[in-house]
Amino acid sequence: MNKSVLTLLVMTLWVFAWNEPAKAASDAFTKAMPGYTFSFPRDHGSHPDYLIEWWYFTGNLSSEKGKSFGYELTFFRRGIENKFKDQNPSLWSVHDVYLAHFAVTDIAEKQFYYDEKISRAALGKAGAKIGKMDVWIDRWSAAQEGDQIRLKAGDDQWGIEFILNPAKPLVVHGEQGISKKGEERGAASHYYSFTRLETSGTLITNGKAEQVSGLSWMDHEFGSLLLGEGQVGWDWFSIQLDDGSEYMFYQIRETAGGKDPISSGTIIFPDGTTQDLKANDFKLTPTSYWKSKLSDATYPLHWEISVPSESLTLTAKPVLNQQELITTRSTRMTYWEGATDFHGQKKGKKLKGKGYIELTGYAGKLLGAVKPK
């Protein structure tokens, strides 16, 4: 189990409203089953046979003048079960709904900006191509250009246009092409990541454009089976250390409290080899909390992380407390997704890194917990 499952959980919860019988919904779509063979560039593109799919980018960047920034850009595709969609010849007929989240953290200015979109395909307003990565809503897009990926999002006040170059090969998570999330058949997703993408381009903050460069992380994941109840949220970490390694951890929190046994992680070594981590292989300990004035949610933003097998201890400290997204329009969830600095020791040697932490399920229920201002 990994982050993909957790994200599926979220998707499940926001998708709920669209498909009353959640189980029935998944029947119309292909399930993620073991034995899947990834093939690229095909699998960079859209998989409309699957219910849910997303392309997820985060990164830590700095300008030529040394200012630091974080960003997040996520595109979701959500298949719609609509028995009339093939009968109705209208080009407005809904087959998929596309959603996007875009956030920028201006660390020096202590500013956090985010925006979101939701749309049907609507004659090219939004879409995701099959066979190659090309997903967009309006003028926001993530598209493959040769080996590179071009990201565009935002507007003339807050916006990005980046070129992403993989410094390491992509990593397929899980076994037999699936990332399992439960015992049920098909309760899984197909999931791969680019954990180290060299990034450069233009970033607009408050209407001012700057050239920036740094590292990004990308996830692409697709699956169909929805999760059951019992989980309230998760904590997810992506860490790019300056020794050339990356770490990914997550833990699912249950209503009853405590760490879910399916929590896990992955180590990507500098040479590109990987190692799965089980729940007992690492320890995540929150050390201090921050309360959002907007949602009243209390998030653990400072963490102690330890991976005994690597003799690794890390302290996570967000670059800014306020990196909370209240996405009333699209996914309708309130969560914290923020650029984070990591400091610590590995085998007695000091090291640091950057990354992103995603904290969900703290604003009451996952959904609809946003209190009016």
By CB under 8 A, residue 202 contacts another protein: no
Measured CA to CA, the distance from residue 337 to residue 71 in angstroms comes to 10
DSSP result, 129-155: -SSS-EEEETTEEEEEETTEEEEEEE-
278 binds another protein (CB under 8 A): no
Residues 135-174 as x/- pattern, contact with another protein by CB under 8 A: ---x------------------------------------
Strand, helix or coil at 213? Answer: strand
Q: What is the DSSP string of 341-368?
A: EEEEEETTEEEEEEEEEEEES-SSSSBS
Q: Dihedral, CA atoms, 279, 171, 55, 167, nearest 10 degrees?
A: 120
For another protein, give the closer residue by CB, 35 or 372. Answer: 372
- For the CB of residue 17, give the shortest distance to another protein in the complex, in Å: 5
For another protein, the binding residues in 295-334 under the rule CB under 8 A are 328-330, 332
Residue type, 79: G
| Burial state string for 187-197 with b = 16 or more CB within 10 A and e = fewer than 16 | bbbbbbbbbbb
Q: Would you count residue 118 as binding another protein (CB under 8 A)?
A: yes
CB nearer to another protein: give 97 or 314: 97
Considering only residues 12 to 71 of the shown chain, the ones binding another protein according to CB under 8 A are 17-19
Closest separation in Å from C-beta 339 to another protein: 28
Give the nearer residue to another protein in terms of CB position, either 84 or 349: 84
Binding mask 76-105 toward another protein (x if CB under 8 A, else -) reads ----x-x-x---xxxxxxx--x--------
Query: Least distance (Å) from another protein to the CB of residue 116?
Result: 11
Shortest Cβ 205–another protein spacing (Å): 18
* Secondary structure of residue 211 in the 3-state scheme: strand
CB of 88 to another protein, least distance (A): 5
From residue 31, give the alpha-carbon distance in Å to each of 70, 79, 84, 180, 301.
34, 13, 22, 11, 35
Amino acid identity for residue 128 in this structure: A
Among 23, 42, 110, 125, binds another protein (CB under 8 A): 125
Check the CA dihedral 353-279-57-337 and report its sign. Answer: negative
The size of the interface with another protein (CB under 8 A), counted in residues, is: 26
- Three-class SS state of 20: coil
Residues that bind another protein (CB under 8 A): 17-19, 80, 82, 84, 88-94, 97, 118-120, 122-125, 138, 328-330, 332
